[in-house]
Amino acid sequence: MIAEVIARLHAACKLPLKLVQGAAEYASLKAPPPAARQPAAYVMPLGGTPGANTLAGSIRQRMQERVSVVVLLGILRDARGDAALAEIEPVFRAI
């Protein structure tokens, strides 16, 4: 499922994301990606909730999965982050 979300974010032409990766890449970050690769998004699994089994003697159930998208945007021109918030708002809305 994570790969599907990453593919959707890559394919969404209205998103100005320059880098979309998963939790493993996020965990291995030692520093933010270079400015040329930002805004960047990292898709993380949050867990799942199974539904009721609908078959007797076998298993058939819905699984509701949740993900989180961490967005990195390196705008350092203001200390409070107002400029970053204004620039990242369209990305949040699209995701």
Q: How far apart are CA 54 and CA 10, in angstroms?
A: 35
Q: How far apart are CA 65 and CA 47, in angstroms?
A: 6
Residue 43's nearest CA partner among 30, 25, 64 is 25
Please report the pLDDT score of residue 24 as a whole number: 92
- Per-residue pLDDT of 46-72, as tens digits, reads 988 888 888 888 888 888 889 999 988
Query: pLDDT by residue for the chain (95 residues), tens digit each?
Result: 788 888 888 777 566 788 889 999 999 998 888 888 888 889 999 988 888 888 888 888 888 889 999 988 777 677 777 777 777 777 777 77
pTM recorded for the entire structure: 0.71
Sign of CA dihedral 24, 30, 31, 36: negative
- CA dist., res. 16 & res. 41, Å (int): 10
